């Protein structure tokens, strides 16, 4: 099936639930990126700041299509905060006090209107990014009340070897409890379940573009 056919099929499914598609372009070919742009898609996810900068800013794609919106979906180091704030519209991976402080300072400096989601480690996995569910409340307080960040949602990546649905439900309940509008959950293998559970954004790479290069 062609990229166009995959795209239409995924979009058609997501439309039933009002879920937006974040097309994950990391490690995809230039041709495929241009093809999906030609189809009119404008919402993209990248996991690395440097790679995103090359693909979107240095390539002139952002200049040609100023309505492109970029989500950062990978972990952010504080030494990359300046570049990330300059490039992204949504940072989905807020997960520490240190990052909250660094982001707040840089967003003020650049006078940018950036939305943040907090990444929650719903599976309580040791090596994974994201805050543990019981620490969410204090990080939210710090981010919103103390630093004035616009936190509008939550994001999660369920453990690979588990049924993702209980994780999606946990994330949805946490967002509801804290009055947060957005839920970024679901990838190529589970975006349908995520949409059914109320995802406002799914992040899909390989199911759309094929294997990464």
Residues of the shown chain interacting with ligand PLP in the complex, contacts defined by CB under 6 A: 24, 26, 47, 73-74, 157, 187-188, 203-207
Least CB distance to ligand PLP at residue 187 (A): 4
Give me the least distance between CB of 86 and ligand PLP, in Å please: 21
Closer residue to ligand PLP in complex, CB, 20/147: 20
Closest CA to 8 of 39, 29, 32: 39
Cα–Cα distance list, 212 to 26, 136, 168 (Å): 8, 33, 25
User: What are the DSSP calls for 117-144, one per residue?
Assistant: EEEB-TT--TT--SB-GGGHHHHHHIII
Give the nearer residue to ligand PLP in terms of CB position, either 4 or 148. Answer: 4
CB 181, min distance to ligand PLP, A: 19
Q: For the beta carbon of residue 147, count every other beta carbon within 10 angstroms.
A: 18
CB 4 to ligand PLP: min, Å: 18
Please say which residue, 149 or 157, places its beta carbon nearer to ligand PLP. 157
Residue 146 beta carbon to ligand PLP: minimum distance, rounded to whole angstroms: 27
In the complex with ligand PLP, which residue's Cβ is closer, 47 or 200? Answer: 47
Cβ contact 119:94 at 8 Å: yes
Closest CA to 209 of 35, 61, 18: 35
Facing residues of 103 across strands?
A: none
**Identity of the residue, 50 or 63, whose beta carbon is nearer to ligand PLP in the bound complex:** 50
């Amino acid at each position: 099936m062609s990229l166009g056919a995959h795209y239409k099929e995924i979009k058609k499914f997501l439309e039933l639930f009002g879920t937006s598609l974040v097309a994950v372009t990391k490690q995809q070919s230039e041709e495929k990126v241009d093809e999906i742009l030609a189809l009119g898609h404008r919402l993209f996810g990248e996991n690395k700041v440097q790679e995103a900068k090359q693909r979107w800013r240095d390539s002139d794609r952002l200049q040609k299509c100023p309505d492109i919106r970029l989500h950062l979906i990978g972990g952010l180091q504080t030494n990359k905060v300046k570049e990330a704030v300059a490039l992204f519209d949504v940072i989905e991976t807020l997960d520490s006090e240190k990052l909250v402080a660094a982001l707040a300072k840089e967003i003020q400096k650049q006078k940018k209107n950036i939305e943040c989601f907090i990444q929650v480690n719903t599976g309580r996995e040791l090596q994974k990014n994201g805050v543990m569910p019981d620490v969410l409340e204090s990080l939210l307080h710090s981010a919103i009340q103390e630093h004035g960040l616009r936190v509008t949602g939550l994001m999660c990546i369920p453990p690979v070897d588990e049924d993702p649905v209980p994780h999606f439900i946990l994330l949805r309940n946490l967002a509801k409890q804290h009055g947060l509008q957005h839920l970024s959950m679901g990838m190529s293998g589970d975006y349908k379940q995520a949409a059914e559970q109320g995802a406002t954004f799914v992040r899909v790479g390989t199911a759309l573009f094929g294997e990464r290069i």
